[in-house]
Amino acid sequence: MLLLLMMMMMMMMMMVNAVPGKVLNVRVTAIGSDTLSIAWDPRNDVTLYEVRHWELRDATRISVNVTSSTNITLLRLTEDTQYSFQVCLNDASFPVHS
């Protein structure tokens, strides 16, 4: 389980870079048998965040959660399964201007 957690943390860190428009300091804050809590630093210009997660063996089944909070607990995860996570800005709160 610890190995899976370390792999997940490394993948999450690879997905969030310190560039404008990104969510920073994504981190695991708690682990349960079928749950995982993550948090990230707030942004002053954003009201909604989108948290995506999927099993590495089946990247076609992506779960999406939208939240105004800077933390979330993902429920009903399968134990001993590798997941990838992504936290990003939600388009509704951070409009893209052309």
Contact between 36 and 74 under an 8 Å Cβ cutoff? The reply is yes
Q: To the nearest whole percent, how much of the chain has pLDDT over 70?
A: 71
How far apart CA 13 and CA 35 sit, in angstroms, is 19
CB atoms within 10 A of CB 2: 7
Model-level pTM?
0.72
Domains of the chain: 2-89 (2.60.40.10)
pLDDT of amino acid 3: 43
Q: Poorest-confidence range of 24-33, 52-61, 64-73?
A: 52-61
| Average predicted confidence (pLDDT) for the chain | 78
